Amino acid sequence: MSNTRKLITFDWAIKRLLRSKANFGILEGFLSELLKEEITILDLLESESNKDDKLDKFNRVDLRVRNQKQEIIIIEIQYDREYDYLQRLFYGVSKTVIEGMKEKQPYAGITKVISINILYFDLGIGDDYIYHGTTRFIGIHNHDLLGLNEKQKKLFQKESVEALYPEYYLIKINRFNDIARDTLDEWIYFLKNEEIKESFTAKGLKEAEEKLSIMKLPEGERKAYEQYQDDLRYQASMFESSYGDGYYTGREEGREETTRTIAIKLIQQGAEIEIINAVTGLSVAAIEELVKSL
């Protein structure tokens, strides 16, 4: 049996260690294995999303990266333990797009966003442990795929319509069966078990093994990490104790209030009504009423 070393959880690393440029190699390795191309992190986006908050359940880091084609992409990594998630996913991407736009910037200059979501619960129905989502337009009658014309390809420097829109990766850690068949699976194994086997060769894992060891944390940082783990166990216990009739009774009302809150935040960010409609599902009339009330 190969030796393993116990490492800190990836969510803690994202919140505390991986935001340092000295540790970018770890995230670069993970992103390169997932996206199947060399990724170089240029910088951490200093947005509201990246504020450090001990009580922040919305563990998230936004990165500006360059791929092998020299394209600039915003990578949004979310490590979440929440159950009510899909609307939050759409909101997070929309917010990242808006925050990444410069004033009076033409739409053609919008930066591509890739949302990577590391999930420790079973979101939706499906047997796989990695899902990839894109936006495509299919003809209703002929079932053909809408493409870009030559002028659009030159303008956008893209070959397909879906390349213009955000992409989504949902990594359902608990669905992984602990059998690493390739280097991406080695990363999934680490994310699930906080362990790295000696035989693993995935990019970034050797650096993770060196820098994310619990035993190498300073005493103060180690105590903060232990407290963080206790907080997570408490949150999980509280959720389980409330996940009964009372939860379901208030769920619909809570969902409606969440939708309104998201819409209001998007309005305040200056989002177009069409974008708010697509993200929240609220009617144009309802959104216009919200605009008037603010």
pLDDT mean by block of 10 residues, the chain; 294 residues = 65 81 92 96 70 49 90 83 72 82 75 89 86 96 96 92 94 93 96 92 94 82 79 58 48 66 82 77 87 87
Q: How far apart are CA 161 and CA 259, in angstroms?
A: 28
Q: Is 270 exposed, middle or buried (0-12, 13-18, 19+ CB in 10 A)?
A: exposed
45 and 70 co-located in one domain: yes
H runs (alpha helix) in 101-218 = 150-156, 183-193, 205-211
In a domain, 133, yes or no: yes
Domain presence at residue 2: no
Answer whether residue 193 is part of any domain: yes
CA count, 13 A, side-chain hemisphere, 5: 18
Asked which of 228, 243, 258 is the last residue of a domain, the reply is 243
Q: Are residues 91 and 169 in the same domain?
A: yes
Domain limits at 228?
10-243
pLDDT of residue 52: 46
Its pTM surpasses 0.85: no
17 and 139 housed in the same domain: yes
How far from chain centre, in Å, is Cα 50? Answer: 12
Query: How many angstroms separate the CA atoms of 143 and 187, rounded?
Result: 37
Say if 4 falls within a structural domain.
no
Residues 145 and 291 in one domain: no
82 & 34 share domain: yes
Domain membership of residue 286 (yes or no) is: yes
Q: Residue 7 gets which letter from DSSP?
A: B
pLDDT in tens, 26-60: 999 999 999 999 999 999 886 544 444 443 444 67
Q: Does residue 69 form part of some domain?
A: yes
One domain, residues 139 and 41: yes
Same structural domain, 226 and 286? no
Answer for the pair 201, 33: CB distance below 8 angstroms, yes or no. no
- Length, in residues, of the chain: 294
C-alpha–C-alpha distance, residues 280 and 91, integer Å? 8
**How many domains does the structure of the chain reveal?**
2
Boundary (domain end) residue, out of 243, 270, 286: 243
Buried b (16+ CB within 10 A) or exposed e, 33-45: bbbeeebebeebb
Q: Can you name the residues that pair with 80 across neighbouring β-strands? A: 119
